């Protein structure tokens, strides 16, 4: 697809991931920081980025992180389900990032591709073909889960969970090694595209509204 777009001068947007980084340190990752994936998943995401760049057309690689939505399989819906079934949730507390809604990503992408193809290509070039996109602020998976449970309960959803317990990464092994630090630096996003995402909790609120309405209706 990248080669097809490049041959025709069509600006291309490619979504990538925080998994291209090794998660070390505590500072947000900049676009020009060294990539060191920890897993095959991260390696494939980085390979995709390189393939898009090598096509040499107007392009924008957009790295994001911790994506969730009210639809599909993701952390938000998993926590809502588990909280409805179990009194105790054990959630990783030593991985930090910014939960980012699919709606936030979609809105930002729509702004990035406004205008005619030349204007879009010029913006992509100004971003050096790479930008980070996530909600502002940061939390752990544990902190995210706590806010989900509290938010659903405050919206009238009956839940079984009465305890959310923080655990270490080592206590919850996964197939793909996850970066402990998934913070993304958003300065280039603001400078080139004029986009300043809301704090992750503010972006989560309307998603909780929709999910709570769905869960209340299904329980009737």
Q: In the chain, where are the structural domains located?
A: 2-219
- Note the pLDDT tens digit of each residue in 141-178: 999 999 999 999 999 999 999 999 999 999 888 887 89
Mean pLDDT (whole number) for 117-130: 96
> Is 41 a residue of the active site?
yes
User: What is the chain's mean pLDDT, rounded?
Assistant: 95
pLDDT at 51: 97
Q: Which of the four CATH numbers 3.40.50.720, 3.10.20.600, 3.40.920.10, 3.20.10.10 does domain 2-219 have? A: 3.40.50.720
7 pLDDT higher than 80: yes
Mean pLDDT (whole number) for 30-41: 96
Q: Are 52 and 20 in contact (CB under 8 A)?
A: no
What distance lies between CA 127 and its chain's CA centroid? 19
As given in the structure block, the two tokens for residue 136 are 């502002």
Token look-up 């993701």 returns: 74
β-bridge pairing 59-64 and 67-68: unpaired
pLDDT at 43: 97
Tell me the percentage of the chain whose pLDDT exceeds 90.
Answer: 94
Burial of 184 (0-12, 13-18, 19+ CB in 10 A): buried
Q: Is the pTM of this model over 0.95?
A: no
Mean pLDDT (whole number) for 75-80: 96
As given in the structure block, the two tokens for residue 98 are 């910014």
β-bridge pairing 139-140 and 96-97: antiparallel
Q: Are 97 and 18 in contact (CB under 8 A)?
A: yes
Catalytic position from the list 19, 41, 68, 142: 41
pLDDT at 220: 58
Q: Give the residue from 65, 151, 138, 60 showing the smallest Cα distance to 105.
A: 65
Report the range of poorest mean pLDDT among 74-78, 127-131, 170-174, 179-183.
Answer: 170-174
Tell me the percentage of the chain whose pLDDT exceeds 70.
Answer: 99
**Which of the two residues, 180 and 218, has the higher pLDDT score?**
180
Q: Are 83 and 93 in contact (CB under 8 A)?
A: no
Question: Please, which pLDDT band fits residue 38 given cuts at 50, 70 and 90?
Answer: very high
118 pLDDT higher than 70: yes
Instruction: For residues 14 and 91, give the distance between their C-alpha atoms in angstroms, rounded to a whole number.
Output: 31
Q: Give the residue from 63, 78, 9, 13 showing the smallest Cα distance to 179.
A: 63
Instruction: For residues 191 and 172, give the distance between their C-alpha atoms in angstroms, rounded to a whole number.
Output: 38
Cα-Cα-Cα-Cα torsion 192, 198, 199, 204, nearest 10 degrees, comes to -130
């Amino acid at each position: 697809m990248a080669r097809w777009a490049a041959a025709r001068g069509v600006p291309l947007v490619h979504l990538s991931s925080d998994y291209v980084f090794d998660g070390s340190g505590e500072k947000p990752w900049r676009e020009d920081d060294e990539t060191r994936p920890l897993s095959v998943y991260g390696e494939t995401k980085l390979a995709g980025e390189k393939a898009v760049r090598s096509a040499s057309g107007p392009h924008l690689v957009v790295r994001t992180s911790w994506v969730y939505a009210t639809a599909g399989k993701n952390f938000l819906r998993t926590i809502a389900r588990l909280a409805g079934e179990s009194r105790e949730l054990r959630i990783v507390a030593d991985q930090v990032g910014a939960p980012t809604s699919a709606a936030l990503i979609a809105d930002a992408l729509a702004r990035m591709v406004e205008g005619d193809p030349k204007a879009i290509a010029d913006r992509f070039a100004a971003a050096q073909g790479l930008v980070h996109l996530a909600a502002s602020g940061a939390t752990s998976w544990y902190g995210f889960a706590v806010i989900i449970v509290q938010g659903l309960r405050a919206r009238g959803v009956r839940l079984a969970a009465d305890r959310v317990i923080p655990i270490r990464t080592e206590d919850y092994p996964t197939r793909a090694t996850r970066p402990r630090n998934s913070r993304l630096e958003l300065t280039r996003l603001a400078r080139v595209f004029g986009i300043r995402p809301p704090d992750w909790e503010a972006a989560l609120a309307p998603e909780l509204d929709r999910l709570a309405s769905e869960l209340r209706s299904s329980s009737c």
